[in-house]
């Protein structure tokens, strides 16, 4: 049995003469091939590790799960929290918007250099015929203001990309004078403006308003004021207390009932107070209906109850009721003369930071589209811009 093994082995290898040279060469070649193979493996694994580390992760994520790629990057730096929204036409409804607008910091000091801005909120039916005057007013003051426009939803206007009004319309709804839908529009404007953390003061204007001074002057006046300019007075007559409804008690009683023009200026704190209110809103909605014009009573009364010490109780928007009737006077082309502006800006008396002042109004209404041309003409000398 034992002898059979070598014979079989010998039979396997017929050329016994070359046997010794084969036996010596084979391990060497094998070793060489093995070494080369090992070397190639090492080089390839090194390359693959390197590329995976530096480019692999993102490309694998991008190809493997593109549906998880967010269109807006997550706020993982402070910059992204303080940056104003890039598109005002969001898809939030009012309920969602007000909820979102009421995220506000509890730390008084900002951990970055915050340059406070004025939010100019235009409440209009449609076009802004006096836009060229406002364009000139804002020119050169970028970074100190933001613009928001609320018009009827059916209205679509295209401002050119060079305009300060370009893409400044917010999602809107139909609002009617004297009805709660008007206050809803004002709260909607405030809520949208609150989304920009740098907006500190909020001014409500209409399409027929004009500024009476240059931007620097208005910015300074608002910034240095201790109070917000919300018109609020106690009118004992039929158009004041006469509109009060006893059902509003106990939230509002008649001594707290106020009246004022809807064209206000409030600071950030009061803007939040207005947007977050769910105590007074249902009362005014149910019990202040025409002939109780809710936009003349809701904010003045509510803020008089909640924050009387922050109110100047006067409006900074001039309007002329002297002609009588249910609507204030509208001024057109023929009215725009230097004497006209003297009437508005001179001989006024009011309190500014508890001191007597002759500068009482920063804006005026109502101006017809025909007033634009003469206004542009007199603006450099009379209005200061």
Ligand X SMILES: *[C@@H]1O[C@H](CO)[C@@H](O)[C@H](O)[C@H]1NC(C)=O
Residues contributing to the site for ligand X (CB under 6 A) = 213-214, 216-217, 227, 253, 255-256, 304, 308-309, 311-313, 384
Closer residue to ligand X in complex, CB, 228/262: 228
Closer residue to ligand X in complex, CB, 84/380: 380
Closer residue to ligand X in complex, CB, 148/264: 264
| In the complex, minimum distance from the CB of residue 213 to ligand X, in angstroms, rounded to a whole number | 5
The Cβ-side half-sphere exposure at 383, using a 13 Å CA radius, reads 26
Cα 50 from chain centre: 45
| In the complex, minimum distance from the CB of residue 183 to ligand X, in angstroms, rounded to a whole number | 20
Distance between CA 123 and CA 136 in Å, rounded? 20
Q: Output the DSSP codes for 281-309.
A: HHHHHHH--TTS-GGGTHHHHHHHHH-GG
Closer residue to ligand X in complex, CB, 180/218: 218
Closer residue to ligand X in complex, CB, 227/331: 227
| In the complex, minimum distance from the CB of residue 308 to ligand X, in angstroms, rounded to a whole number | 4
Q: Report yes or no: 102 and 195 within 8 Å, Cβ to Cβ.
A: no
| In the complex, minimum distance from the CB of residue 67 to ligand X, in angstroms, rounded to a whole number | 52
Distant-in-sequence contacts of 180-183, Cβ < 8 A, 24+ apart: 180/284, 180/285, 180/294, 182/262, 182/294, 182/295, 183/284, 183/294, 183/295, 183/298, 183/299
Closer residue to ligand X in complex, CB, 165/352: 352
| In the complex, minimum distance from the CB of residue 354 to ligand X, in angstroms, rounded to a whole number | 7
Residue 353: helix, strand or coil by DSSP? coil
Closer residue to ligand X in complex, CB, 82/350: 350
Cα separations in angstroms, 159 against 114, 165, 196: 29, 6, 22
| In the complex, minimum distance from the CB of residue 180 to ligand X, in angstroms, rounded to a whole number | 23
User: For the chain, what is the largest distance between any 2 Cα atoms, rounded to a whole number of angstroms?
Assistant: 137
Closer residue to ligand X in complex, CB, 203/302: 302
Short-list 128, 134, 316, 321, CA closest to 225: 316
| Residues in CB range of 169: below 8 A, 6 or more apart | 88, 89, 149, 150, 151, 157
| In the complex, minimum distance from the CB of residue 247 to ligand X, in angstroms, rounded to a whole number | 13
| In the complex, minimum distance from the CB of residue 297 to ligand X, in angstroms, rounded to a whole number | 13
Cα 48 from chain centre: 47
């Amino acid at each position: 049995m034992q002898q059979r093994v070598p014979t079989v082995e010998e039979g396997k290898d017929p050329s016994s003469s070359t046997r010794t040279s084969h036996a010596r060469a084979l391990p060497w070649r094998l070793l060489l091939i093995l070494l080369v193979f090992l070397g190639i493996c090492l080089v390839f694994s090194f390359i693959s590790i390197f590329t995976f580390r530096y480019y692999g992760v993102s490309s694998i994520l991008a190809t493997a799960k593109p549906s998880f790629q967010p269109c807006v990057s997550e706020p993982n730096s402070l910059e992204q929290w303080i940056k104003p929204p890039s598109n005002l036409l969001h898809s939030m409804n009012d309920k969602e918007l007000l909820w979102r607008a009421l995220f506000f910091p509890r730390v008084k000091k900002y951990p970055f250099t915050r340059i406070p801005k004025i939010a100019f909120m235009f409440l209009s039916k449609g076009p802004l015929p006096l836009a060229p005057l406002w364009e000139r007013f804002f020119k050169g003051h970028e970074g100190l203001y933001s613009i928001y426009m609320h018009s009827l939803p059916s209205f679509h206007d295209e401002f050119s990309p060079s305009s300060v009004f370009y893409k400044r319309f917010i999602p809107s709804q139909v609002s009617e004078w004297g009805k709660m839908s008007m206050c809803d529009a004002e709260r909607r404007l405030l809520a949208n403006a609150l989304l920009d953390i740098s907006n500190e003061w909020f001014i409500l204007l209409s399409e027929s308003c004009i500024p009476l001074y240059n931007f620097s002057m208005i910015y300074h006046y608002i910034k240095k004021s201790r109070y917000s300019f919300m018109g609020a007075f106690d009118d004992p007559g039929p158009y004041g207390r006469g509109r009060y409804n006893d059902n509003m008690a106990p939230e509002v009683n008649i001594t707290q009932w106020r009246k004022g023009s809807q064209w206000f200026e409030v600071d950030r704190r009061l803007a939040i107070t207005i947007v977050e209110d769910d105590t007074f809103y249902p009362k005014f909605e149910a019990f202040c209906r025409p002939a109780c014009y809710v936009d003349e009573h809701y904010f003045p009364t509510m803020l008089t109850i909640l924050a009387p010490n922050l109110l100047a109780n006067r409006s900074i928007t001039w309007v002329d009721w002297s002609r009588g009737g249910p609507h204030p006077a509208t001024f057109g082309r023929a009215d725009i003369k230097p004497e006209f502006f003297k009437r508005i800006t001179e001989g006024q008396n009011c309190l500014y930071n508890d001191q007597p002042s002759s500068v009482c109004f920063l804006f005026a209404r109502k101006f017809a589209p025909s007033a634009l041309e003469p206004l542009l003409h007199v603006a450099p000398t009379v209005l200061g811009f």
